[in-house]
Amino acid sequence: MPPAHPGPRQRAPKLRRVRWKQAWRIIASRYPPIDVFERASKDPAAQQALIALEQMTNPRLRNEAGQIALVPPGRAVFGAGASYVMASFTHLNRKGSRFSDGAYGLYYCAESMETAIAETVHHFQRFARDSHDPERYEDMRVLVGAIDHEFHDVGSVSKQRLASIMDSDSYVDSQPFGAGLRADGSDGVVYPSARRAEGECVGAFWPDAVGLPAQEKHLKYHWDGERVAKYFDYSKEQWVGL
């Protein structure tokens, strides 16, 4: 898929400092940490040398680490929790997302677990419905990090433009919008959740724009053949209705 055309230039949204002590992200538990990002030295030169060596000699690791070249060396992150961030940029979702047509990755997270659940349940339901899945369960990994960075505030644009960018069923306007900001050097966007009225999300264009997260807990989504009406919280050992 060719990169989204940024479209006609419009006034960029305002920059806003986002300071979240807890930034929540939920991913499928079947995606384990990528060891090379977790254990690499803090020396950037050593990090790149280790990755190059292991990718050259280890086909399994080459597949796990993904397309490292998509992340400039100065913007890559390493250490405990780094793989959860890096995977968003080295393993592309070719179907795209709200602010990317699939040509590049973003790290998406939310200001609360409730918003992260609402966002991920929506996409999980859509995938299961399109795949005609029968009743099934999916274990999910809850990640929590911190954010202290400047992002472009999508909520600062006009109401008409905001409605177009945040269309709940279409990325036709949001993908060129994201591509244009990224091409102009933006580190990402902060925007109102399309799945939870009071929620807010961040979409970071580069790994070093967010803090390294740690695993907080596990959840289990229940797809009943039509929707996800509940999830199991392993930490509380109970089902929670949606």
In terms of phi and psi (left: phi > 0; alpha: psi -120 to 50; beta: otherwise), the region of 112 is beta
Helices (H) and strands (E) in the chain, counts: 7, 8
* For the chain, percent of residues with pLDDT exceeding 70: 83
Q: Give SS3 for 6.
A: coil
Confidence of residue 38 (pLDDT cuts 50, 70, 90): confident
- The pair of structure tokens assigned to 231 is 């999830």
Pure H helices in 95-233: 113-130, 159-165, 174-183
């967010």: which residue's tokens?
210
Mean pLDDT of 64-80: 83
The chain-wide mean pLDDT, for the chain, equals: 89
pLDDT, residue 79, reads: 86
Handedness of CA 111, 117, 118, 119 (dihedral sign): positive
Domain boundaries, the chain: 15-241
Report which residue type is found at 33.
P
Tens digit of pLDDT for each residue in 78-125?
888 998 999 999 999 989 999 999 999 999 999 999 999 999 999 999
Amino acid at 207: P
Predicted local distance difference test score (pLDDT) of residue 2: 43
Q: How far apart are CA 152 and CA 66, in angstroms?
A: 28
Separation of alpha carbons 16 and 85, rounded Å: 22
